[in-house]
A = this chain, B = another copy of it.
Amino acid sequence: MKVLGIDPSYTATGFAITQQQGNKQELLHCGTISLPSHYELSSRIGIFYECFNTMVQEYSITKISLETPFLGKNVQTFLKLGYLRGIIHLIAHQHLIQVIEFSPKEVKLAVTGFGSAEKDQVSRMVHMLFPGLIQKKSLDITDAIAISLCGLWKQ
């Protein structure tokens, strides 16, 4: 059971792969992917597909975990986030992987025990759960780790 958590964005998509080993969770890989802003939209989406398609194969991912986005100020930006989520669903279909989705509140509640926690509280808890994380990770990454853990714990 290897769960890929993804927090999609054009500027910095956070991702994290966790797995259960006995009583504890292991963090196999995490990072961010940035899609070059000077590229055409289709090319950025193509890069996004290729990155995660390769990752799913390399790590033999068995589940993908996502957070439900909420409409911000810009409707067209929100729609374009949907483009990236569509790509994730396609990859899941092509590799016969389940996609599981959590609300931001569920993610915060699962990781910190508090549904209204701030992003930096989530980050602190993630660093406590994985003391092996040497450097402080960006909020994009700690969010993705939290999303991945939700998928793992849901099992």
Q: Chain A: residues with CB nearer than 8 A to chain B? A: 41-43, 45-46, 49, 68-71, 75-76, 78-87, 89-90, 92-94, 99
Q: Say whether B93 contacts A43, CB under 8 Å.
A: yes
- Which of A70, A87, A89, A92 gathers the greatest number of chain B CB atoms within 10 Å? A89
Q: How many copies does the complex hold?
A: 2
Identify whether the interface residues of A are mostly helix, strand, loop, or mixed.
Answer: helix
20 contacts between A and B (CB under 8 A): A41-B99, A42-B92, A42-B99, A45-B89, A45-B93, A46-B89, A46-B90, A49-B93, A71-B75, A78-B78, A78-B82, A79-B85, A82-B82, A82-B86, A83-B85, A83-B89, A84-B86, A85-B86, A87-B90, A90-B90
